[in-house]
Amino acid sequence: MSHESSSKPMYEQIFEALRDQIISHKYELGERIPSEKELGEAYNVSRITSKKALDMLTQEGYIVRKPGRGSFVSEQLDPEIISKGNAAAVGVKSRRDNEKLIIGVVMTDFGDSYGTGLIYGMEEASRQHGSYLILRRSLGEPEKEQEAIQDFLELGVDGMIIFPAQGEYFNAEILKLVISQYPFVLLDRHLKGVSASSISSDNIAAAKHMVHYLFELGHTHIALMTTPPQDTSAIEERIEGFIQAHAERGIVVDQSLWMDHITATLPTAFVSKNKEKEKENIKVHLQVHPEITALFAMEHNIAQLAYEAARELGLRIPEDLSIVCFDSPDYAGGFLFTHMRQNQEEMGRLAFENVLKLISGESVPSKILLETELIEGSSTGPVNKR
């Protein structure tokens, strides 16, 4: 499938295929052509999509639709159109020629701590370029991610921005986009072995910065707390930065202090029952490892669970235990964690603009890394040996 054809709506591709078959006399005047159901099965699309293709053929005068019988090549079709062959096809303009671009966005989820800023950046860029966004959440489930991509292709969006779900294997639909040279950009992470443009934070540098900050406060027994890495690039890079920072200071990484299977903060598991269970796991971990003086949380929600667990154990934050994380909402009245702030709006803006460049045939960098900023909050202080 070429870039030109794959970037068109499916109903338009079906319309053009049938039109060309009529022009080339595969279907003669008065002959029945495939039904909505038959086209849906042949092209693996919904009947809504195949109906739109047949409606376009009807509007252009190629077919007539007879209720209860089907669709037939118009017997009044102008012979001159048929004789022109492919030239006639060139003369039929795409429905989208004079319309604003529509970009589909597939995200795992979004909230105050992370994600909303990405949407702000994309929406503002779409406004500036006179384009539109359509958003679908996958909730971190590969099946829903795949369904969203397929729906967007069927709808006929001009390009996509995809925030991939965590997992060991990337979605096969993304590989199809790569093969067909479809214009899309990956957000927040990149996928191994996949040649696709991606925009994310410099996670290795950010993690190193945050760990060195804790070292300066005297912390050397630092527990890393994360969801299962599962070959998710952002998490793997932050772990790599964590390890590199220790190596640069000659401090041994003690993985027995880590909690690397926290699942309660994943989109589909973030409910009260799971959060309470996870807090109990954190309490046990802190009791088994009293030498821990600081927690390096992979995201704000994990930091919040750790904060609540520590407080329930009677530990003071930051006097007894310091906590750092990536991203922390700074709304009024909320507890601000010391964190690495990602430039979410810039990330979203660049993602949108790069998709537009790909649509126009321009090349874009395969990987863009943005700097982060350390924001000191109320969750960190000098080590206090208990």
Consecutive sets of 10 residues in the chain, 386 residues long: mean pLDDT of each?
A: 53 88 86 90 83 87 85 77 44 47 91 85 94 90 89 89 73 81 88 82 97 97 90 86 97 95 77 90 96 96 95 96 91 79 95 91 90 95 80
Q: Which fold has domain 203-343?
A: Rossmann fold (3.40.50)
Q: What is the pLDDT of residue 170?
A: 65
Q: Which CATH class for the 102-201+344-370 domain?
A: alpha beta
Three-state secondary structure of 157-184? CCEEEECCCCCCCCCHHHHHHHHCCCCE
| Sign of the CA dihedral with 378 first, then 379, 385, and 386 last | positive
Backbone φ, ψ for residue 56 (5° rounding): -65, -40
3-state secondary structure of 295: strand
**Dist. CA 186–CA 259, nearest whole Å:** 28
Question: What ranges make up the beta strands (E) of 148-248?
Answer: 159-162, 184-187, 198-201, 222-225
Reported as a single tens digit per residue, the pLDDT across 311-360 is 999 999 999 999 999 998 876 456 889 999 999 999 999 999 999 998 88
Retrieve residue 57's tokens: 């053929």
Retrieve residue 279's tokens: 């807090």
Count of beta carbons in the 10 Å neighbourhood of residue 226: 22
- What predicted TM-score, i.e. pTM, was given to this entire model? 0.72
Please report, for the chain, the start and end positions of each structural domain, with discontinuous segments joined by +.
3-91, 102-201+344-370, 203-343
**Dist. CA 302–CA 314, nearest whole Å:** 19
Q: Is there a shared CATH topology between the 102-201+344-370 domain and the 203-343 domain? A: yes
Architecture of the domain made up of 3-91: Orthogonal Bundle (1.10)
Retrieve residue 114's tokens: 């992370």
